[in-house]
Structure 1
């Protein structure tokens, strides 16, 4: 779970840090206090796009640090597969520094690419932004949700389907090369023969370039090397080691306490003599063979020319040579190769069709379970008559995900027909649908930390109470961090934090601090009462908090 967040010099935040706990972590604050900036800082650390303009004015850089604890053996294994090991305390530290020139991401002090950062952090945390429910308007998202729910049942089949599709696409591209008239084929054959001869006549060896470059560099700098070696040799002659040894020998005759100094000087003098001999031998053997120099130069020019045309390295060039030979063989046996390619494609297409059919069948079974669970959750979220199902349509082509096009269908009110989700649900209803989906998925996924940024937009009253109960249920299996403006939800907090904007030394800054039990009630009173907080509002807030805590405790006792 996420233990600690530290932000420096990001937008309105000068320096802010907070320790999160288990269960439901609630963040509240006045409008404009910087709640979304704080959640945005988490997205920044996770590799999200961030403008250099987000660096606080007057600062050279901005930084965000997240500290996660990893307790699950399964999660440790998944991280190990990505070459990440928690430290001895079971911690994974994710940090990102942003400067006007660039940004740098680290995991446990090791620099990582943005792609690797996202792969790693996706195992640790999932952020649901204010507008994420809008993604439900896209049908491609519906298939992702279905596959996430049914990953245990369909993962192996989906992987095999994707692998077979890659082979299918490759065979289609290959078959497209068997086009053109005989003249075109002959021209391609001639050109391939020329390229193959050019590489073959070079007689390249995979590891020769490095040795050649080292030899060429030595010959090209022979004069400089000679000067430096002679200077080193002269310096050895000027060394006073021998004189120092002779002097200490005389003193040693009268004082045996000088033995260590005498022995060290003796060793130094012996080493110096060995070094002089080695330098002399190097200078005697050193020579410049102009013919060999020009041969190395011409050979390197040839290699670099071939690399410029056929690959960045000699192994790349040799791989290109093999591909050219294969293509030449195809052209020389054109009709036979085309028939073979057509047959391969036909076999692969039949295999892919079979896999897609099996995948559709499994998905349809999974979809019944998923939509049944979502419909049940929607009733819990104060929908009067939520009917929810998934419609399947077959595409007219294969994809790496099979041939399914899926779409959630819904009726939110009694007497209304079942329609596509985007037509059936309002913005506030979409938020609740996404929460229902997230609740269902939370029971199957292993992501420890879930962040929701104002998922309660567009709801109030009894619906807000229902949403708070769903969030509490999610927090029984996951750490939940949530920004809200609703007292019904805030009352459920296991930990409650206030985000506040203040003016310090003439500058606006956003800060965050954990609330005590008494402060939680005061913040609930603010959410309930608005501008004027009366004693009656405070009593109402205290009662709301008491009831929420009692409900949580009762639920925990039932679970244990």
Structure 2
């Protein structure tokens, strides 16, 4: 509810500070006193466009500030936006300066007009000006219908929402899978070619090093064999001299080895030389026997090395890396086949989820249709009380092509205010009186469930009188049992049922016009309602009538 409203320098209002109570609050006063200007101040607080022309003459700025009690839903929304809360209240302040610059603060935090408008749409519904009425927005109608869902209906709606999000998750998986599969399929031919190319050569780890070694021996076989042969001949031919000399030297040292440690060491060295030369000769003979000049084998080695080196050069890998890459290709090729299987399973899951969604959505649609029938019945009943007997009303539920978290339904309230006219959107109602009464009837039905805590009716009594006004006053008072209702009115019957009554008057001081607002006590209310009944000439009979109205209204 709106707890406090402060306005500074708005048109003919210099300064205004109202403290509002629960229930029905009425604003009355003579035409031109500034009642609509107060609505302009409220408009500032709900994010509507404002102009520098609104600034009081000779002042530099205009400001409006309101203290609101808010619902739990709005409180949660604000906390998600990082706006601090205090005791379930928000303080909104909006300023506009002569240079056209403006500021908006919500609990001290600066916010844009779009954010303010979004938040305040769930706090205030201004009936009498189309742009402010939530009921005229067809996107809001399905939410209102769902406010009447019973426990099973709420549970069903949650099931539909959960299935919807599961469906979206499956679609996301399918799309991601399709992207992966497309990418893999695009590369499948390349992967298969590369795998087969590496498989055909089938290199073994370190094979190139072994082949390089063999190639050196085969290519230089003649030179190797010639060198080995020469070395063998030299050692063999010199064996008698060299080996004999070493043998004789060993014998000589052996005779003296027992006379000193150094002689034993010399003897060991001579023995080692002797055996090393023998082993060298043996090794040369064996190597010489192994070395063959094999052109056929040389060609095979060269051919094999070329294949391996071409692979290495092409892929930029050594053999070990080539083998790892081959394994990776094999895994990717397997993944393509596996993805095909996964896609089939996902499509089956998608189909099952769609069937489940359609089943639950139809059940939800049926519940909404029954609620729609109830709302139509109640609205016609309410409008009949308000002397609108020829009206037709329909809750139209059409199926959407696309699925949504709220189900398949598009819901819109349609109305025909005259016999023979086609049903049309609420927003296309032209007559101000019709709009007000239809909105009043709708609010009488929805005020208990739509969670908008403040309703403002701008001259709802326009164009009606007699018994209809009395019915309007009763409905306003009934709505005010659930939410705060602020009503600007010229009707004494409506003023008499208010919980709180403010009188707005225009004064001229120092050749400047100002608007003053006064909270009326009982006696002042009697006088104001008397003025509304009889004009300036107030008789005792008129006063008595005013007291009777108040007596009935205050019951």
- Give your verdict on TM over 0.5: yes
* Counterpart in the other structure of 1:25: 25
Do residues 368 (structure 1) and 373 (structure 2) align? Answer: yes
Q: Structure 1 residue 437: deviation in Å? A: 1.1
Aligned 8 A contact 1:418 1:424 in 2: no
Per-residue CA shift, 1:492-526, capped at 9, x if unaligned?
A: 22322223344444444433222344443443344
Query: 2-side partners of 1:30 and 1:8: how far apart?
Result: 21
Q: Structure 1 residue 384: deviation in Å? A: 3.5
Unaligned 5+ segments in structure 2 are 191-332
Change (3 A) 1:474 1:137: closer
* Counterpart in the other structure of 1:492: 497
Query: 1-side partners of 2:541 and 2:188: how far apart?
Result: 87
Q: What secondary structure sits across from 2:403 in the alignment?
A: strand
Q: What secondary structure sits across from 1:67 in the alignment?
A: strand
Per-residue CA shift, 1:26-55, capped at 9, x if unaligned?
A: 112334433233123223223334345544
Q: Give the TM-score of the pair, scaled to structure 1.
A: 0.60
Q: What secondary structure sits across from 1:535 in the alignment?
A: coil
Per-residue CA shift, 1:156-188, capped at 9, x if unaligned?
A: 544553454455457657767858997997499
Q: What secondary structure sits across from 1:8 in the alignment?
A: strand
Select which of 93, 96, 101 maps to 2:91. 93
Per-residue CA shift, 1:180-217, capped at 9, x if unaligned?
A: 99799749999xxxxxxxxxxxxxxxxxxxxxxxxxxx
Q: Structure 1 residue 329: deviation in Å? A: 12
Select which of 453, 460, 474 maps to 1:469. 474
Q: What secondary structure sits across from 2:129 in the alignment?
A: coil
Q: Structure 1 residue 113: deviation in Å? A: 5.7
Do residues 65 (structure 1) and 53 (structure 2) align? Answer: no
Q: What secondary structure sits across from 1:94 in the alignment?
A: strand
Aligned 8 A contact 1:165 1:398 in 2: yes
Change (3 A) 1:187 1:14: farther
Alignment of 1:280-295 (within 5 A): none
Query: 1-side partners of 2:342 and 2:536: how far apart?
Result: 84
Change (3 A) 1:44 1:151: farther
Per-residue CA shift, 1:131-177, capped at 9, x if unaligned?
A: 26987666545434323444866455445534544554576577678
Alignment of 1:175-190 (within 5 A): 178=178, 186=186
* Counterpart in the other structure of 1:351: 356
Q: Structure 1 residue 436: deviation in Å? A: 1.0
Query: 2-side partners of 1:5 and 1:187: how far apart?
Result: 69
Query: 1-side partners of 2:479 and 2:345: how far apart?
Result: 55
Alignment of 1:400-415 (within 5 A): 400-408=405-413
Do residues 131 (structure 1) and 130 (structure 2) align? Answer: yes
Alignment of 1:253-402 (within 5 A): 335=340, 339=344, 342-384=347-389, 388-402=393-407
Query: 2-side partners of 1:132 and 1:187: how far apart?
Result: 57
Change (3 A) 1:65 1:553: same
Q: Give the TM-score of the pair, scaled to structure 2.
A: 0.60
Query: 2-side partners of 1:401 and 1:74: how far apart?
Result: 18
Aligned 8 A contact 1:44 1:96 in 2: yes
Query: 1-side partners of 2:183 and 2:74: how far apart?
Result: 60
Q: Structure 1 residue 391: deviation in Å? A: 3.7
Do residues 535 (structure 1) and 533 (structure 2) align? Answer: no
Per-residue CA shift, 1:316-335, capped at 9, x if unaligned?
A: xxxxxxxxxxxx99989775
Q: What secondary structure sits across from 1:476 in the alignment?
A: coil
* Counterpart in the other structure of 1:549: 550
Do residues 511 (structure 1) and 516 (structure 2) align? Answer: yes
* Counterpart in the other structure of 2:483: 478
Aligned 8 A contact 1:130 1:455 in 2: no
Aligned 8 A contact 2:29 2:504 in 1: yes
Q: Structure 1 residue 365: deviation in Å? A: 2.7
Q: Structure 1 residue 64: deviation in Å? A: 1.8
Q: Structure 1 residue 470: deviation in Å? A: 0.5
Do residues 145 (structure 1) and 148 (structure 2) align? Answer: no
Aligned 8 A contact 2:135 2:141 in 1: yes
Q: Structure 1 residue 482: deviation in Å? A: 0.8
* Counterpart in the other structure of 2:42: 42
Aligned 8 A contact 1:142 1:406 in 2: yes
Q: What secondary structure sits across from 2:401 in the alignment?
A: strand
Query: 1-side partners of 2:42 and 2:335: how far apart?
Result: 54
Change (3 A) 1:81 1:134: closer
Aligned 8 A contact 1:23 1:475 in 2: yes
Query: 1-side partners of 2:348 and 2:19: how far apart?
Result: 62
Query: 1-side partners of 2:5 and 2:44: how far apart?
Result: 12
Q: What secondary structure sits across from 1:399 in the alignment?
A: coil
Q: What secondary structure sits across from 2:38 in the alignment?
A: helix
Aligned 8 A contact 1:154 1:362 in 2: yes
Q: Structure 1 residue 463: deviation in Å? A: 1.5
Query: 2-side partners of 1:171 and 1:73: how far apart?
Result: 33
Unaligned 5+ segments in structure 1 are 191-327, 555-560
Q: Structure 1 residue 480: deviation in Å? A: 1.4
Number of equivalenced pairs: 409
Change (3 A) 1:10 1:496: same
Query: 2-side partners of 1:446 and 1:145: how far apart?
Result: 10
Do residues 456 (structure 1) and 461 (structure 2) align? Answer: yes
Aligned 8 A contact 2:92 2:104 in 1: no
Q: Structure 1 residue 86: deviation in Å? A: 2.7
Query: 2-side partners of 1:128 and 1:354: how far apart?
Result: 39
RMSD over aligned CA atoms reads: 4.5
Change (3 A) 1:397 1:74: closer
Query: 2-side partners of 1:111 and 1:492: how far apart?
Result: 39
Query: 2-side partners of 1:445 and 1:423: how far apart?
Result: 19
Aligned 8 A contact 2:393 2:423 in 1: no
Query: 2-side partners of 1:163 and 1:31: how far apart?
Result: 55
